[in-house]
Amino acid sequence: MNLYPLGKALCAGLLYPFYQYQVIGKENFPKDGGVLLCSNHISNLDPPTVGVAAPRQVHFMAKEELFSAPVLGKILPHINAFPVKRGMSDREALRKGLSILKEEKVLGLFPEGTRSKTGELGKGLAGAGFFALRSKAHVVPCAIIGSYKPFRRIKVVFGRPIPFDEYRKNKISAEEATDIIMNEIGQLIRSYK
C-alpha cells in the first residue's frame, strides 16, 4: 500500500506551520522520465522537506538502521523508502536504485551520505555518480538552505538538470561524476543563500 500521498500531506501539515517554505526552481523538475535528485544534507528533516517540495513522488534511499526502528521501520517501505547499508558497497540497494530510474521514477539521494555537522557542503560519495552514469535519468541538483529554526525560512532550490550525456559517452569515473553533481549543489547554495 502506497502511503506517500498521505505522508506528504501530513508532513506538509506538520512542517508548514513551523517553517516558512520557499520552493525555487520547480519548473526545472522534469515532468516525466527517470530523475536522480541529489541534495545536500543538513538535518533529519531533509527527506520530508524535499519530498514535500518535489512535484513528483520521490523514492529515498535511507540508512538501513532506520528500518529497525519500531514504528518508522514499518512505515518507510510504504512511503517509497528503501534501505542501504552504509560504509560498504550495497549491491542490492544499487540494483534497486537503478530499477527505480529505469521505471522512470524519481530516486532521491543525499550524496554526502550523512548529515553535515557544520551545515557546510561535504564531499559526495561515489554512489550518486554511479547512478548518474549507469542510467539515462535526468540528474537534478537540489539545495536546502536554512537552519530549521522555528518560524525561519527554509529554501528548497531545484537546479536545472545537469547535461550528463557527454559525461556518459566519455566514461568518466563515478567519483568525477559525483564531484560534478556536488559542484552544482554548491553553486545553488552560493547563489540562493
What is the domain partition of the chain in residue ranges? 4-192
Average pLDDT of the segment spanning 25-54: 97
pLDDT in tens, 132-183: 999 999 999 999 999 899 999 999 999 999 999 999 999 999 999 999 999 9
pLDDT for the residue numbered 85 = 87
The mean pLDDT value for 79-107 works out to: 91
pLDDT in the model for residue 87? 64
| pLDDT recorded at residue 88 | 60
Does residue 25 have a pLDDT over 70? yes
Q: In sequence order, what are the beta bridge partners of 24?
A: 157
pLDDT of residue 147: 87
User: 80: closest CA among 102, 56, 53, 111?
Assistant: 56
Measured CA to CA, the distance from residue 104 to residue 80 in angstroms comes to 14
Angle between helices 4-15 and 46-53 (to 10 degrees): 110
pLDDT-derived band at 57 (thresholds 50, 70, 90) equals: very high
137 with 34: CB under 8 angstroms?
yes
pLDDT of residue 180: 98
* DSSP H or E segment with residue 20: strand 20-24
Q: Greatest CA separation found in the chain?
A: 47
C-alpha cell read off for 180: 560534478
Which residues have a Cβ under 8 Å from the Cβ of 177 and sit 6 or more positions away?
128, 129, 130, 132, 133, 164, 167
For a pLDDT cut of 70, what percent of the chain falls above it? Answer: 99
Task: Report the run of H or E that residue 13 belongs to, with start and end.
Answer: helix 4-15
Using DSSP, state whether 22 is helix, strand or coil: strand
> How does residue 99 score in pLDDT terms, banded at 50, 70 and 90?
very high
- Beta strand residue intervals within 31-177, DSSP E: 35-39, 58-63, 82-84, 106-109, 138-145, 153-158
Strands 138-145, 106-109: pairing is unpaired
The DSSP letter of residue 184 is: H
143 forms bridges with which residues in the sheet? 157
The predicted pLDDT at position 80 comes to 96
Q: 103: helix, coil or strand?
A: coil
Instruction: State the chain's mean pLDDT as an integer.
Output: 94
Task: Look up the CATH number of domain 4-192.
Answer: 3.40.1130.10
Higher pLDDT, residue 29 or 113: 29
